[in-house]
Structure 1
Amino acid sequence: MADVIPLVSIVLGSSKSYSIPIDFIGNVPIDVLYPTDNNDNVLVNIATPLPAGTNTIGNVNIASPLPFESAVNVNTIEATLTTANTAQALPSGTAYNFITIYNKNSDTIYVGSSSKQNIPILSGGSYSIDIHQAPINLASIYWVSSTAGDYIEVMYA
Structure 2
Amino acid sequence: MLSSMVKEHQGRQQARKEEQERRRKEAIQASSSLTHALVDHLNVGVAQAYLNQRRLDSEAIQLEQNATNFQRQTSQWLTLVSSFTDSMKEVGHVHNWATTIEADMRTVSTALEYAYKGGPIAELLLENGAAKWQWWWSGHLKNVQADRELLRNM
For the pair shown, the structure with the greater C-alpha radius of gyration is: 2
TM category (shorter chain) comes to under 0.3
Larger RCO (CA under 8 A, 6+ residues apart) = 1
Higher helix share: 2
Could you state the TM-score of these two structures normalised by the residue count of structure 2?
Answer: 0.20
Higher strand share: 1
Could you state the TM-score of these two structures normalised by the residue count of structure 1?
Answer: 0.20
